[in-house]
A and B are shown apart, each in its own frame.
Chain A
Amino acid sequence: MSECWLVLGASSAIARAFARVAAAAGDDVILAGRDAADLAIAATDVTLRGPGQAQAIAFDARDHGSHEGIAVRAETLAAGKPLSVFLAFGTMPTQAEIDTDWAIAWTTLDSNLVGAVSILQRLAPILEARKAGRVVAIGSVAGDRGRLKNYVYGAAKAGLATYLQGLRARLFRAGVPVTTVKPGFVDTAMTWGLPGLFLVASPETVARACYAAARKGKEEIYVPFFWRGIMTIIRNIPERIFKKLSI
C-alpha cells in the first residue's frame, strides 16, 4: 500500500534521492525545508518522475514553535494515506569552527538534536493515533563514539540515536516502526572537499538502503553495511587509548 512521506530537510542530497526513490515506488512525498524556491523545483521534479506526487511546505528545524502546526498540516496533506516520516536535516560545522564560537556549537545541537526531538514529539501522537506509517531518521556513525575531530556533532547524533530508541519503543506499541540510519561518509555538500574521507557512498545508495530498511521495519542500519564492523572496532578501543588518537 502506498503511503505519504513527510521528508524533513528535503533539500539535502540524501533526502532528495529518498524522495525520488519513494515516488518511484508509488508513494507521495511532502518536501519540507527552508529553501522554498528549491523545494518547489524539487516537488515538480519528483512529480514529473513519479508515479508518486510531491508537494512542498516550509519547515525550519530550529523554529520549534512552528512544529505543532507542521505536524497537523502534514496529516492533512497525507490525505488519508499512512503518514511516514523521513528525517534528514542537520548541519555539520567543523569542530574547529564549533570550538571558536558557542553559537555554532548551539546551532549544531539545535539543528541535529533539539529540532529533531521537537518535530518528532509533535508527530508521534499522530502516528500513534493512526496506527500506521513509519519513521526513518538519519543519524550518523559519528554518534557512536565521541571523537576529537567531531564531538559536538557526534554528541547531537548520539542524543538523537538514544531518543529514537525510546521513540521506537513507544511507537512499537502502535505498530509504527522506527528506523535509525547511520550512514558513514556520504558524497554530499557536507563532505565535498573534506580531507581524509574514504569509502564514500552516493546519496542514491543511502536513499535506497533507507527505503528498503523502512519497508522491512528495521531498527537500526549502517549504510553501507560494513560501517557496522568499522564502528564495532572503534567503539571497542579502550578509552585510555582512544583519547590519544587524533581521529
Chain B
Amino acid sequence: MRSKALTLSGWGRTQHAAMTAWRPERAPELDATLGAASGSAIARGAGRSYGDAAVLDGGDAILTTRLDRLLSFDAQSGEVVCEPGVTFRDLIDAFVPRGFMPPASPGTAFATVGGAVAADVHGKNHDRHGSFGDAVRWIDLLTADGCTRRISAADDPALLAATIGGMGLTGIARRIAFTMLPGASPMVRVRERAVRDLDEHLAGLVEARARSTFSVGWVDALATGSRLGSGILETAEFAPDERIRPAPQPRTVPIDMPGFVLNGLTVRAFNTLYGARVTTTGRDVARRFDVFLYPLDAVHDWNRIYGRRGFHQFQCVIPDAEAPHAIRAMLEQIARSRRASFLAVLKTLGREGRGLLSFPMPGVTLALDFPRRPGTEDLVGSLNRIAADHGGRVYLAKDSLLTRDLFDAMYPRAGEFREIVAGIDPEGRFKSDLARRLGLKAGRRQ
C-alpha cells in the first residue's frame, strides 16, 4: 500500500500539517494501513472540523473517505449500519425518500458518520432528539493494539463514552450502527421571523424548544446597542404534502479570495440584505429539507472566501441560566472588535451528550466565524474565557485555540477520558494536534 505526502489543515485553514496520508479503499485494508503507519495517526473523514482535530503535524492521516458503504438498513427500527466514510449527503439521499432522517445533522452534508461520532455532532433538532452519539447502538472500533472490538452500552460502556465525542483518539470506527428517525420528508415548512434584539431572540428560541422540531437563529453579529442580538429566527416542520423541488446546482469558489474582499462594509451589506428579507410578523416558506439543514453547502469550498490566512470559528454553549448574560457580553465584545464576520448562529441545546467529551449541555449555543487577522486569536481567547466563566463549553470540532486550563474547566470528565484512552492506547498510537494541545494523550510516539 502506498502513502501520499499531503499538507492537511482543518476547514478553517489556520494551521497546516505535513502528513503521511493513507487511504484504504476496502474495509479490510484498514488493519494493514494501521500496521504500515509508522508514527502516531489520526483518522480523517471529510476534513470538515475547523481546527486541529483531524491533523497531526509529522504524523499519519488515515483517510476514511473511501470506506463509504451502507451495510444494512432495518426499516422497522430505522437502524443503519455503515462504514465511517458515509456522508450525511448519502444518508439524506438514501433514506429521506423512505421517511427517515439522520438523528442529528451538522451544518454540512459533506461531513461523515465517523466524524459525527467523533465530534458527537448536534443539529437544529437537538432539543427534541439529542446529538448523534445518542443514536449510536454500537461501534466496531479498531484500537491501538490492532484488534477490532464491538463497543456498546452493554459491552464496554466506558470505551463507548470515550469514543462518542472522543475526537478519534480511541481508534478508528470501521462500522457504526445507529438509529435513524422516522417521520422525515424531502420538504419542510420553515417559519421565518425577524427578531429585534437578543431578549426577543432567546425568548423565541426557548419557546421553540417544546413547539418546533427544528429551530435556529441567525444573528447579525455587527448589530450594536438596542439592535444587539437581532436577526432571524427559523423554525421548521416536515411538510410531507409539499411538492418536492429539484435540488439546486451548487456553486464553487474557484480561488482563494484576497483578504480585502471581506471587510466591515461588505459583511454589513450582506447581513442587512439577509435581514431585510423577513419582517417581524414573519412568513412561511417551503424549502427542501437538505437546503434547510445545509444552507452553506450551496457554495462548495466556501472557506476560500476567507482567503489564504483562513478563519477561526468560535462555538460555545452556555448553560440556560447564564446564557442571556454571557451571550450579551460576547456579542458586545464581538461588535466592539469590528471584526467582520458573517451571520452568527444562535441555538438552544437540550441535554448533555453521552460522551465524556461531548459538547452539548442544556443551554444556548453561539457560533460564528472570524477571518484570521492580527488580534483574532486574542478575541477568540477572550470569548473562550467568557464561556468558561459562565460554566460553558467550547466545541472541539470548531476550536483550535483553547488552552488546556480552560478546557479542563469546561470538560469536567476530561480526567476520566485521559485515563480510559491511556489504558486502551498507552503508546499514543492515535493522536492529533488537538490532543497534543489539550494534553489528551500520553505516550511516547510522536
Contacts and interface: CB of A to CB of B under 8 A. Distances in A.
Contacts of A11: 25-26
Contact of B26 (A38, A44, A192, A194): A38
Contacts of B2: 192-194
Given A192-B2, A192-B4, A194-B2, A49 B70 contact: yes
Contacts of B66: 13
Contact of A35 (B26, B72, B94): B26
B71 A49 contact: no
Nearest to B3: A193
A48 B3 CA distance: 31
Interface string A175-218: 00000000000001100111000000000000000000000000
Contacts of A194: 2
A11 B93 CA distance: 22
B4 A45 contact: no
Interface in B1-56: 2-5, 23, 25-28
A14 to B, nearest CB: 11
A18 to B, nearest CB: 15
B73 interface: yes
A229 B345 CA distance: 47
Interface string A117-157: 00000000000000000000000000000000000000000
Contacts of B72: 44, 48
B69 interface: yes
A164 B26 CA distance: 30
A83 interface: no
B90 interface: yes
- What is the size category of the interface that chain B forms with chain A? 10 to 19
A230 interface: no
A49 B26 contact: no
Nearest to A37: B28
B68 to A, nearest CB: 8
A49 B93 contact: yes
The 5 tightest CB contacts between A and B, nearest first, are A193-B2, A193-B4, A45-B69, A48-B70, A45-B70
A41 interface: yes
B27 A41 contact: yes
Contacts of A193: 2-5
A90 interface: no
Nearest to B29: A189
Nearest to B95: A48
Contact of B90 (A35, A49, A189, A192): A49
Contacts of B93: 49
A42 interface: yes
15 contacts: A13-B66, A37-B28, A38-B28, A41-B69, A44-B69, A44-B70, A44-B72, A48-B70, A48-B73, A49-B70, A49-B93, A49-B94, A189-B25, A193-B5, A194-B2
